[in-house]
Amino acid sequence: MKKLDYIENSPDKHKQNIQPEEQKQFIKEIKNTKVIPINEELECTLNHGSMSSSISKRLSNIKSKLLSFNSERMTTDLNNRYTFIRNVFLLLCFQSVTSIVFAVIALLNNKIENFIKDTNMLIIIASSTLGLIGLLMLVLKRIFKFSILKWIIFAIFILAKSILAAYALVVTLSYDLIILDTTYCGVCLSLAIYSIFSKIFFENKAALLIALLSCTIIFVVSLAITQEYYIRMIYIYFGILIFSIFTVYDIQLIAGGRISEFTYDDFVPTSLIVFIEIIAILFYIAKLLFKPI
């Protein structure tokens, strides 16, 4: 027993239990460190830091945060970042194609044209359906985890959107909507092709350059065909260009894990929610820019 007491009270053991001051300080700092999710960090940066800075600083903060998103959490056995971005752009392109097809069919077929004009309830149902789907995408994102259900919602969304596009065309008798959808379809298709070739190296600057080039090419071709609508074409060009820029950034945000419920398998709801996200971002940027400094 005495021997054991001697061992327990030995100076060597007492020295081993004494932690250096540097080690204590290091452990204390680790315990006090707070890990902030990147989506909360973005919100904090935009809500607090951006409000007290100049307009250029606000835009700089937004840009730095947009470029910082990169998530390994979203990778699944079926999809990665490359396939996710590619599929989203292809689905966006498909949405525009269906709107164009429905609009052209309605314009060429007198029976369908008259039916759409005379059936106001159809337009109300289509508008309400889009609003309901938009609400579901905002508050019940987990509903898109069901494979069959998400494709049903996707089909209903496209149908409602195409009906509204056809209604707008037959009422206004203007080709602006077709030019709009054609231009946006071309931009999304170009970005999808770029994502196929770039794969994991999909980069914002190159994507924005491709969006600019494809939008400009389609604008020039459309302007050559319909020269009498050149003023409208200019408005459409800049509108689609701005929309395409935010499309690239918004998809990059979602691909970086901004929506915690999504993985890279959720490219279907992403192709739907991107419109709502872009509208929300535009309003938020306007709020930042026009808020008094």
User: Is 107 within 8 Å of 113 (Cβ atoms)?
Assistant: yes
Is 43 a domain residue? Answer: no
Instruction: Using the predicted structure, report yes or no on whether residue 90 has a pLDDT greater than 90.
Output: yes
| Residue 26 DSSP SS3 | helix
Q: Between 230 and 245, where is the model more confident?
A: 245
Interior/surface letters 32-61, b for 16+ CB within 10 angstroms, e for the rest: eeeeeeebeebeeebeeebeeeeeeebeeb
Q: Considering Cα of 116, then 120, then 125, then 130, what sign does the dihedral take? A: positive
Distance from C-alpha of 265 to C-alpha of 79, rounded to nearest angstrom: 6
Distance from C-alpha of 158 to C-alpha of 90, rounded to nearest angstrom: 14
Is 135 a domain residue? Answer: yes
Q: How far is CA 137 from CA 10, 20, 84, 154, 188, in A?
A: 67, 54, 18, 11, 22
Is 12 a domain residue? Answer: no
At residue 53, φ and ψ (nearest 5 deg) are -110, 175
User: Is 235 within 8 Å of 55 (Cβ atoms)?
Assistant: no
- Determine whether 161 is exposed, middle or buried from the number of CB atoms within 10 Å of its CB (0-12, 13-18, 19+): buried
Q: Across residues 44-66, what is the average pLDDT?
A: 54
Q: Across residues 264-284, what is the average pLDDT?
A: 77
| pTM given for the model | 0.69
Which pLDDT band holds residue 279 (cuts at 50, 70, 90)?
A: low
Q: How far apart are the first and last CA of the chain?
A: 76
| One-letter amino acid of 225 | I
Is 2 a domain residue? Answer: no
pLDDT confidence of residue 190: 92
C-alpha Rg value of the chain to the nearest Å: 27
Q: How many residues does the chain have?
A: 293
Is 87 a domain residue? Answer: yes
Is 286 a domain residue? Answer: yes
Q: Between 14 and 157, where is the model more confident?
A: 157
Is 158 a domain residue? Answer: yes
pLDDT confidence of residue 51: 46
Is 225 a domain residue? Answer: yes
Instruction: Using the predicted structure, report yes or no on whether residue 98 has a pLDDT greater than 50.
Output: yes
Q: Between 207 and 175, where is the model more confident?
A: 207
The two structure tokens encoding residue 259? 């929506």
How far is C-alpha 34 from the geometric centre of its chain's CA atoms?
Answer: 28
| Furthest CA-CA distance within the chain | 108
Residue 145: domain span: 55-60+73-290
Total tally of structural domains belonging to the chain: 1
